[in-house]
A and B are shown apart, each in its own frame.
Chain A
């Protein structure tokens, strides 16, 4: 074979950062990242963006050198993505926060509602129910993060986690404050409203979990390639007939049910923001599916059947 040479330039200054001699044509970008990391220990592979074009997209680890449009001497560009943090770690931090923060309010810690109300408990059963549901939701998410999810990209920029945590933790504190407040008012339609909400909550949680398992099964052998998700024997997955991202659909459903259960405006606001955020993600995912698969079911909508 003809051995290749690879030079890597800084994407902004175009300064040559390294020159790799005698590179195998079948070398993957992952191997090149490892070689680059040896020369620059500070820039571990996850924070290296290697691209063909200074302003282009980052090349994936699996790409093979000889399949790139570069010839035997390749010029690649490097951009530092900044400190990275693994997705699993991100989710663990993001989800443990709300779980624990809610308890601070549920158990009415001293500094929350004042000394007179400390460690008291609410006379309303729905408050206990809300705590159980909220905790269940986040414990389920933590379990999924550890055992179910298979991430296509390993890391995210460290800076983003501060912003994300502020958002999730802040909202958790805000809604927990009102639900567990001594002056909390239970739902207007009483038991009927609460029972309806609980059933809806359980169905949506089950649905969400089913979708996550189904998506995870698509990548059972550890591959990172995308496949079209299809309905399985599990009835909850039949939502795939109508939407591309039923996991988001069910998630919004969970939060709607929680809003109905607690009849609390901050919860409603959080639900609205979740809905907006997930619609954006769903549309994005939907477009990606349409682009990658010519035979993608055309009647599917991103998040709401027939509508959105």
Chain B
């Protein structure tokens, strides 16, 4: 039975993509894997060249923005129309939060770009995405090495908290600069009768991690138990 790797939810009407869609999906996933590899290599080279791990953000800024934003395609073109049976909401949520951090925080608040917390989440995202996209690629080709499956469902145990820490620290570092410059904020009176305080918004975002992160984490742990023990049984029965 073809498990194209996006599983977790029951397929609605279609049982996985047809051959043309599979072709496009493979190309997409290969490109994304390559992209994140480029970022990984960029980080390593910059580290070796500079001799320190500070301010490496600038060396991978463009590919990071490009490939992280590219993940929106995944949500809008693949998951939302239901080409592949998988959780739209969970993935959309994660992609949105990543894109938010990339553009609305790191890009927008230039002062945080030299923070070490940025490196923390960039490294976490890079490793996670390389594994995730190669997982999808191999699954679509029905030839998934156990190592990749294991890596996808195990490394998150460390990478997830690492990424979350980096993200929270970065937002926290951005706060004083947002307050000072009034970034993305609008106050009354104005003809749209609307007000928005980006500083308060960022604090609310940070607070939202408290209920959301544990849920996602335990969901992944649960998936891990399901997927890896299922493989064990499958192997034993061979």
A residues whose Cβ falls under 8 Å from a Cβ of B: 178-179, 181, 183-185, 188, 262-266
B188 CB, min distance to chain A CBs, angstroms:
4
- B193 touching A262 by the CB < 8 A rule? yes
Alpha-carbon gap, A265 to B193, bound state (A): 6
A contact residues around B192 at 8 Å (CB): 263-265
A contact residues around B190 at 8 Å (CB): 185
Q: How large is the interface on B (under 10, 10 to 19, 20 to 34, 35 or more residues)?
A: under 10
The answer, yes or no, to whether B191 is at the interface (CB within 8 Å) is yes
Residue of A nearest to B192 (CB): A265
The answer, yes or no, to whether B66 is at the interface (CB within 8 Å) is no
A126 CB, min distance to chain B CBs, angstroms:
11
- A184 touching B193 by the CB < 8 A rule? yes
- B191 touching A179 by the CB < 8 A rule? no
A203 CB, min distance to chain B CBs, angstroms:
24
- B194 touching A185 by the CB < 8 A rule? no
- B188 touching A183 by the CB < 8 A rule? yes
Closest 3 CB pairs of A and B: A265-B194, A183-B189, A183-B188
Convert B179-192 into 0s and 1s, putting 1 for each residue whose CB lies closer than 8 angstroms to a CB of A: 00000000011111
Alpha-carbon gap, A236 to B84, bound state (A): 42
Q: A188's contact among B188, B189, B191, B194, by CB below 8 Å, is which?
A: B191
A contact residues around B193 at 8 Å (CB): 178-179, 181, 184-185, 262-266
Alpha-carbon gap, A70 to B195, bound state (A): 62
A contact residues around B194 at 8 Å (CB): 178, 264-266
Residue of B nearest to A181 (CB): B188
Alpha-carbon gap, A181 to B193, bound state (A): 9
A contact residues around B188 at 8 Å (CB): 178, 181, 183-184
B contact residues around A188 at 8 Å (CB): 191
B81 CB, min distance to chain A CBs, angstroms:
14
Residue of A nearest to B187 (CB): A183
B67 CB, min distance to chain A CBs, angstroms:
29
* Contacts beyond the supplied A179-B193, A185-B191: 10 A-B pairs with Cβ under 8 Å: A181-B188, A183-B188, A184-B193, A188-B191, A262-B193, A263-B192, A264-B193, A265-B193, A266-B193, A266-B194
- B191 touching A184 by the CB < 8 A rule? no
Q: What are 25 A-B interface contacts by the 8 Å CB criterion?
A: A178-B188, A178-B193, A178-B194, A178-B195, A179-B193, A181-B188, A181-B193, A183-B188, A184-B188, A184-B189, A184-B193, A185-B189, A185-B191, A185-B193, A188-B191, A262-B193, A263-B191, A263-B192, A263-B193, A264-B192, A264-B193, A264-B194, A265-B192, A265-B194, A266-B194
